């Protein structure tokens, strides 16, 4: 998982999510008194906002980290169905495979919350409904299955993933050698015959297994018997705050303890796991690495209130700091697009023999915006600038040091001024930062930033230090002892 974000942003692979589409509605307001009619709080000054749920939440999470994804499902020809289509459009997710039906009621889960985040009540508006013309769904899936690298199925037992439709899906995915992941809600595990990976939570697993004798130790010690009895090849059992257990025929169970530090809200956590498993598979991580990624992301999601959506910044929080290094410059426009509503600050330099002056510059630069991207001179460029004896620290070491600095969000190596200008043009930063010593001097990228309304900020040095002066001091002190 060392450079998975680079793999995500440069991936051309596609995912198709199929399943029950839902709408999550949040009504939040102030609570200042209890009702005189009953011992219940009065909610006032309410605000309403919407998020995608179910299969559409899985799709949203895959999309938000930068993977190409489409959604197949059905919503009603009602106001809530229109809201689902609107949110998909607002997030640049196609609704071309989202069917509409006059007889269907779009599933809506309405949560009433205080402004402090405490959930008071949930009201579900739903109806089990199987799409009447399964042959239409199968025909459409047959037309498009080959263009996708992974099929994700989100079955909330609302009817779209009927037994007959699933049977056809697995027939086609196995014919075209496409991996499938399913988040199951049905009590009948036979409904999922042919699926690559079935991902029940512990309660769903107990229904499949017809037993509540399902402690972590029991599952681990009886993994082969469980797979044999259920007649499946793979199971990923999510066990809430106890973590996850992955069972495979002929392999030792793979257990991951929970990554969560504090549970705030479990809404959508299962969708996060499904989505991040898909991201891991798409990026060619092995099953175990994909599960580790999903587990960590789920741990972050339950620390937040409401239905969570992961993005690349959330991923960086749970991945090795090496993911700050942008190895493929072709993804720079994607980074710019990701931060379209945020202020990007850019600076560049050698950062050889990292010292307090460097740290202060980076700290001040980060305070000017929302994201700090650092262009780092490669070893070859420093040789050309400062001579064959420099740098003292090679680019691998310098990159490692800089990834550990919290103010730095991304690092990009460059070999010459032409590459540096290309990076600046691709990122189109709002602010370019240099040290005060550049006043009156030529600054690479200044003309471009002036043309797009960007800003150059020169930061004064608090500390009279530099790598060159440190080297001179070392040399002079060494000469005193010779």
How many CB atoms are located within 10 Å of the residue 294 CB? 25
Exposed/middle/buried for 359, CB within 10 Å: 0-12, 13-18, 19+? middle
Could you give the dihedral angle defined by the CA atoms of residues 246, 250, 251 and 252, in that order, rounded to the nearest 10 degrees?
Answer: 90
Helices and strands (H, E) in the chain, number of each type: 18, 19
The catalytic residue positions are: 271
| Omega of the bond leading into 247 within 30 degrees of 0 (cis) | no
- Rounded Cα distance between 198 and 478, Å, is 66
Structure tokens that stand for 46 in this block: 């309410």
Structure tokens that stand for 426 in this block: 């691709």
- Rounded Cα distance between 66 and 8, Å, is 6
Phi, psi of 354 (to 5 degrees): -55, 130
- Rounded Cα distance between 342 and 426, Å, is 16
Phi, psi of 353 (to 5 degrees): 50, 70
- Rounded Cα distance between 138 and 160, Å, is 12
Residues 6+ apart with CB under 8 A from 367: none
- Rounded Cα distance between 370 and 335, Å, is 13
Residue 208: its H or E element: helix 202-209
User: For residue 248, which of 273, 223, 220 has the smallest C-alpha distance?
Assistant: 223
Pairing of strands 119-125, 107-114: antiparallel
User: For residue 346, which of 325, 313, 326, 369 has the smallest C-alpha distance?
Assistant: 369
Structure tokens that stand for 30 in this block: 């102030």
- In the block, tokens 């015959």 appear at 193
For the four alpha carbons of 383, 406, 324 and 9, in that order, the dihedral sign comes to negative
Q: List Cα–Cα distances, 27 to 45, 112, 273, 299, in angstroms.
A: 10, 5, 26, 25
Cβ(67)–Cβ(282) below 8 Å: yes
Structure tokens that stand for 449 in this block: 């930033």
């Amino acid at each position: 998982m060392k450079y998975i974000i680079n793999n995500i942003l440069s991936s051309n692979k596609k995912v198709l999510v199929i399943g029950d589409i839902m709408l999550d509605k949040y009504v939040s307001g102030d609570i200042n008194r209890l009702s005189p009619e009953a011992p219940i709080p009065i909610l006032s000054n309410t605000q309403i906002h919407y998020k995608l749920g179910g299969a559409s939440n899985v799709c949203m999470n895959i999309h938000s980290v930068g993977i190409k994804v489409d959604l197949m499902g059905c919503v009603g020809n009602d106001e809530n169905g229109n809201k689902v289509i609107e949110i998909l459009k607002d997030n640049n997710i196609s609704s071309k495979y989202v069917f509409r039906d006059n007889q269907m009621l779009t599933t809506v889960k309405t949560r009433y919350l205080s402004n402090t985040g405490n959930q008071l009540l949930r009201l579900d508006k739903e109806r089990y409904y199987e799409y009447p013309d399964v042959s239409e769904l199968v025909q459409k899936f047959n037309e498009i299955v080959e263009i996708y690298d992974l099929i994700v199925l989100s079955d909330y037992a609302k009817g779209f993933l009927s037994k007959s439709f699933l049977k056809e899906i697995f027939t086609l995915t196995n014919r075209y050698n496409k991996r499938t992941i399913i988040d199951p809600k049905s009590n009948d595990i036979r409904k999922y015959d042919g699926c690559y990976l079935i991902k029940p939570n512990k309660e769903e697993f107990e229904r499949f297994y017809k037993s509540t004798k399902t402690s972590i130790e029991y599952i681990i010690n009886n993994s082969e018997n469980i797979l044999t009895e259920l007649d499946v090849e793979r199971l990923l059992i999510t066990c809430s705050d106890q973590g996850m257990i992955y069972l495979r025929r002929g392999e030792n169970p793979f257990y991951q303890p929970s990554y969560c530090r504090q549970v705030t809200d479990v809404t959508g956590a299962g969708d996060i796991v499904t989505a991040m498993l898909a991201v891991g598979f798409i990026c060619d991580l092995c099953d175990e690495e994909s599960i580790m990624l999903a587990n960590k992301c789920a741990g972050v999601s339950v620390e937040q209130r409401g239905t969570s959506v992961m993005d690349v910044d959330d991923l960086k929080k749970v991945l090795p700091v090496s993911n700050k290094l942008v190895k493929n410059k072709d993804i720079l426009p994607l980074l710019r697009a990701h931060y379209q509503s945020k202020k990007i600050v850019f600076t560049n330099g050698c950062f050889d023999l990292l010292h307090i002056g460097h740290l202060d510059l980076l700290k001040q630069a980060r305070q000017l915006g929302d994201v700090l991207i650092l262009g780092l001179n490669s070893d070859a460029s420093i040789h050309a600038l400062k001579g064959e004896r420099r740098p003292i620290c090679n680019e691998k070491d310098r990159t490692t040091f800089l990834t550990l600095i919290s103010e730095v969000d991304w690092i990009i190596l460059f070999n010459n001024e032409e590459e540096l200008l290309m990076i600046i043009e691709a990122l189109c930063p709002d602010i370019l930062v240099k040290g005060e010593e550049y006043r009156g001097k030529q600054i690479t990228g200044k003309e471009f930033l002036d043309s797009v309304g960007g800003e150059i900020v020169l930061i004064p040095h608090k500390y009279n230090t530099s790598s060159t002066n440190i080297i001179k001091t070392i040399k002079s002190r060494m000469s005193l002892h010779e």
